[in-house]
Amino acid sequence: MNDSLTNITGIGPRTLEQLETMGIHTIKDLLEYFPFRYEDHAIRPLSEVQHDERVTVRGTVHSEPNLRFFGKKKSRLTVRVLVDGLLVQGIFFNQPYLKKHVKLGEEIIFSGKFDRHRLMITGGTMKTQDASSQGLEPVYSVKGNIKVYHLRKYIKQAFEQYRNQMCENLPEQLLTTYKLLNRREALYNLHFPSSAKQLIQAKRRMSYEELLLFQLKMQYFRKKEREADEGQAKKIDDDMVETFVHELPFPLTNAQTRVLKEIIDDLTSDYRMNRLLQGDVGSGKTVIAACALFAVVRSGFQGALMVPTEILAEQHLSSLKDLLEPFDMKVALLSGSARVKERREILHQLESGDINIIVGTHALIQEGVNFHNLGLVITDEQHRFGVEQRRVLRRKGIRPDVLFMTATPIPRTLAISAFGDMDVSIIDEMPKGRKPIETHWAKPHMLSRVIDFMKKELKKGRQAYVICPLIEESDKLDVQNAIDVHAQLSQALSDHQVGLMHGRLHADEKEAVMNDFAENKINMLVSTTVVEVGVNVPNATVMVIYDAERFGLAQLHQLRGRVGRGSEQSYCILLADPKSDVGKERMKIMTETNDGFELSERDLELRGPGDFFGAKQSGLPEFKVANIVEDYRTLEVARQDAAKLIYSEVFWNGDDYKALKEALEAEGVFNNDKLD
Ligand code: ADP
Ligand code: MG
């Protein structure tokens, strides 16, 4: 399977070069270069075909074909054909050679786009009886001189020459349990589907294989990481933790209690915690972080809380101080804007162990920051605590327990793909007494009514956020926007204090603005998305978002989560005028649900996994056949199977699993360097 492609009859060095630009280097690559879609060429009666739809028809040639050339290369072939009692015009561009296949009175099969009004089928091509009886024609993405039909020819040839080398890699037992096609048959049907049914089976088989291999890899890493640990099993004093929880201003929800127990269990066990904590906005993750930090410090270690922004760091610092200082724990902030002397002092105290808990941005784990005995790192509101950061810690010789708290509920299917090597805890319950936020979608021309509404709330003593349009993330333009909106609203609400917040403010200024807002000295805060995550001002009841269609649903939900934190009814108003149907649908979804998990599922459906996380940031694996949205059930099954296999005797010793292990080996999974 790793043979060079030149072994295939018909592929010479020139073609090889071209294929290599498409990432096809070996026989295996060629066989696994799958079509990205299939065109359905099953012949259908014209009465069922919509305007502008692609169709394949069979008809009798009714007129002599008419071929015209335009310049050297362009041509148009027109022919009238009787199809299902209708006289339609078939028009073929730049395929003059088709003319010889068209004979008056004979039958032809051809495809194209159907123009219902003018009875034309255009832009298609002629089909042989053979192609149309198969019904499905694979479409490949191709480059340069390689055309789809070349590729089909090479693949067919590869099947002929290498048929006997195409081995099964799944054990018999799995094939029978799930009634899966064998590998060769599945591959063949992906390229040359004999029917739609067979194609589905072929895809099912290959997705399972892909997802199983992927999950085996993740589970293997997870196992390895667990075993690799010298074990920093902490002695947690359960009674002390209980006392701490008891002293909180509120009882924990059931979900919080459950999650805290999962975390404490990890801390006390002798493998390293690698846990993702998911909880909707406002579900109370911070207090869980505080409990975990408390437990770790009590057992003699230091803790760190990493957050994405300085504003959030400030805020966490103050809530952690409130909760932990009464227990004689020293909490400090390592801020990017600290004075040199101050910073040196903090670094010194971190190294000596005088500081128990440090809060800061990711700069916390950079060079020059040394800990006395770091036992727990918590990251808040970040999608990904990169492999890179874990590596930095490991290089320093520390293997602390790690807890990731994510702001954005991630659909389960994405969570177990992107974070497949992690344990997952979910807070799926809101603290009691919260009133659901009312969300409204307003068109821009209703702005004055929205302003009146804000006035009314401010008169009652409440506060409001106004989030400005996102033009380009963290760019000058965003700031200018905020400044403009701030000027406009300051005028409209001259009886009130309107504050301004954006990324270009100095850290001191930001802090001052946030403090004034927290104390209601500022009644309304106009801001860019810097307040997106984590900020907690319970008296704020209104969130107005300009140009809401520019934001992702997850982000809108995050922004909305800044209100509804107190006992008063809160409101979120989306000022938006989306043009597309998807855009409108997204605004509607926002008004329909307050549940971050439901929202994320629907967002995923609308946008697909690629866009879900934004940019290439996702850390999501790329699959050739599997689609983690459509194949989420398979993904679940594969995950369970993988988790079982990785700890089973037969997997490591049984002959049945040899091929599977070889496939993993080929991907470099067992190459332990990857872990360090
Ligand atoms: P998030 O999960 O979005 O980070 P926070 O931790 O900021 O949420 O919590 C939101 C608010 O809910 C905070 O004001 C916090 O004090 C409060 N809170 C957390 N847990 C509870 C609870 N069990 N009962 C009542 N209020 C709670
Ligand atoms: Mg939070």
User: What does the DSSP assignment read for 550-591?
Assistant: GS-HHHHHHHHTTSS-SSS--EEEEE----SHHHHHHHHHHH
Taking 50 as the threshold, does the pLDDT of residue 397 lie above it?
A: yes
Q: Is the CB of 69 under 6 A from ligand 1?
A: no
Q: What is the pLDDT of residues 249-299, one digit of tens each?
A: 999 999 999 999 999 999 998 888 888 888 888 889 999 999 999 999 999
Residue 419 is predicted with a pLDDT of 66
Taking 50 as the threshold, does the pLDDT of residue 525 lie above it?
A: yes
Q: Is 259 exposed, middle or buried (0-12, 13-18, 19+ CB in 10 A)?
A: buried
Give every CB contact of residue 510 below 8 A, 6+ residues apart in sequence: 310, 311, 501, 530
Q: Is the CB of 408 under 6 A from ligand 1?
A: no
Structure letter (DSSP) for residue 300: T
- Of ligand 1's atoms, which has the minimum distance to the CA of residue 381? 4
Q: Is the CB of 287 under 6 A from ligand 1?
A: yes
Residue identifier of the C-alpha nearest atom 26 of ligand 1: 431
Residue 8 is predicted with a pLDDT of 86
Q: Left if phi > 0, otherwise alpha if psi is -120 to 50, otherwise beta: which for 5? A: alpha
Q: Is the CB of 652 under 6 A from ligand 1?
A: no
Q: To test the ligand 1 pocket, which listed residue (244, 245, 250) has its Cβ within 8 A of the most ligand atoms? A: 250
Q: Is the CB of 284 under 6 A from ligand 1?
A: yes
Distance 648 CA to ligand 2 centre (A): 39
CB atoms within 10 A of CB 597: 18
* Domains of the chain from N-terminus onward: 43-133 (2.40.50.140), 238-268+284-406 (3.40.50.300), 438-593 (3.40.50.300)
User: Rounded CA gap, 90 and 110, in Å?
Assistant: 8
Q: Is the CB of 458 under 6 A from ligand 1?
A: no
Distance 319 CA to ligand 1 centre (A): 11
53-to-112, 124, 127, 134 alpha-carbon distances in Å: 8, 12, 17, 20
User: Rounded CA gap, 356 and 323, in Å?
Assistant: 13
Q: Is the CB of 594 under 6 A from ligand 1?
A: no
Q: Is the CB of 253 under 6 A from ligand 1?
A: yes
Question: Are the CB atoms for 218 and 420 separated by under 8 Å?
Answer: yes
Residue identifier of the C-alpha nearest atom 24 of ligand 1: 431
- Of ligand 1's atoms, which has the minimum distance to the CA of residue 427? 2
Residue 672 is predicted with a pLDDT of 59
Give every CB contact of residue 652 below 8 A, 6+ residues apart in sequence: none
Q: Is the CB of 405 under 6 A from ligand 1?
A: no
Residue 312 is predicted with a pLDDT of 82
CB atoms within 10 A of CB 436: 12
Phi, psi dihedral angles at 11 (to 5 degrees): -105, 115
When mean pLDDT is compared over 31-40, 444-453, 472-481, the highest value belongs to 444-453
Question: Are the CB atoms for 669 and 217 separated by under 8 Å?
Answer: yes
Q: Is the CB of 654 under 6 A from ligand 1?
A: no
| β-strands 571-575, 540-545 pairing | parallel
Residue identifier of the C-alpha nearest atom 23 of ligand 1: 252
Q: What is the pLDDT of residues 175-217, one digit of tens each?
A: 999 999 999 999 999 999 888 889 999 999 999 999 999 889 8
Question: Are the CB atoms for 376 and 296 separated by under 8 Å?
Answer: yes
User: Rounded CA gap, 129 and 109, in Å?
Assistant: 7
User: Rounded CA gap, 367 and 378, in Å?
Assistant: 18
Question: Are the CB atoms for 563 and 539 separated by under 8 Å?
Answer: no
Q: Is the CB of 279 under 6 A from ligand 1?
A: yes
Q: To test the ligand 1 pocket, which listed residue (252, 283, 430) has its Cβ within 8 A of the most ligand atoms? A: 283
For residue 378, the surrounding DSSP H or E stretch is strand 374-380
For residue 250, the surrounding DSSP H or E stretch is none
Residue identifier of the C-alpha nearest atom 22 of ligand 1: 431
Q: Is the CB of 536 under 6 A from ligand 1?
A: yes
Ligand closest to 534 (CA) is: 2
SS3 of 212-224: the string is: HHHHHHHHHHHHH
Band of residue 449 on the pLDDT scale cut at 50, 70, 90: very high
Taking 50 as the threshold, does the pLDDT of residue 233 lie above it?
A: yes
User: Rounded CA gap, 569 and 643, in Å?
Assistant: 45
Q: What is the pLDDT of residues 557-611, one digit of tens each?
A: 888 989 988 889 999 999 999 988 888 999 999 999 988 888 887 877 776 655 5
User: Rounded CA gap, 212 and 169, in Å?
Assistant: 11
User: Rounded CA gap, 358 and 350, in Å?
Assistant: 8
Helix then strand then coil, in percent of the chain rounded to 5, is 45, 20, 35
Taking 50 as the threshold, does the pLDDT of residue 675 lie above it?
A: no
When mean pLDDT is compared over 133-142, 191-200, 321-330, 391-400, the highest value belongs to 321-330
In 85-112, which positions are buried (b, 16+ CB within 10 angstroms) versus exposed (e)? eeebbbbbeeebebbeebeeeeebbbbb
Taking 80 as the threshold, does the pLDDT of residue 480 lie above it?
A: no
Q: Is the CB of 283 under 6 A from ligand 1?
A: yes
Q: Is the CB of 203 under 6 A from ligand 1?
A: no
Task: Provide the terminal-to-terminal Cα distance of the chain, rounded to the nearest Å.
Answer: 30
Q: Which of 213-227, 388-402, 507-521, 646-660 has the lowest mean pLDDT?
A: 388-402
Distance 425 CA to ligand 1 centre (A): 17
Residue 574 is predicted with a pLDDT of 97
Q: Is the CB of 286 under 6 A from ligand 1?
A: yes
When mean pLDDT is compared over 412-416, 612-616, 638-642, the highest value belongs to 638-642
Distance 615 CA to ligand 1 centre (A): 30
As a whole number, the mean pLDDT across the chain is: 86
Distance 286 CA to ligand 2 centre (A): 5
Q: Minimal CA–CA distance to 517: which of 501, 533, 504, 495?
A: 501
Ligand closest to 281 (CA) is: 1
Taking 50 as the threshold, does the pLDDT of residue 441 lie above it?
A: yes
300-to-296, 306, 317, 372, 625 alpha-carbon distances in Å: 7, 20, 20, 10, 49
CB atoms within 10 A of CB 311: 24
Taking 90 as the threshold, does the pLDDT of residue 448 lie above it?
A: yes
Residue identifier of the C-alpha nearest atom 12 of ligand 1: 284
Taking 90 as the threshold, does the pLDDT of residue 300 lie above it?
A: yes
Taking 50 as the threshold, does the pLDDT of residue 447 lie above it?
A: yes
Residue 133 is predicted with a pLDDT of 55
Mean pLDDT score, 106-132: 83
Taking 80 as the threshold, does the pLDDT of residue 453 lie above it?
A: yes
Q: Is the CB of 431 under 6 A from ligand 1?
A: yes
Counting DSSP H helices and E strands in the chain, the numbers are 23, 22
Q: Which of 113-122, 306-315, 640-649 has the lowest mean pLDDT?
A: 306-315
Structure token digits, residue 389: 């950061």
Question: Are the CB atoms for 339 and 347 separated by under 8 Å?
Answer: no
Structure letter (DSSP) for residue 362: G
Taking 90 as the threshold, does the pLDDT of residue 551 lie above it?
A: no
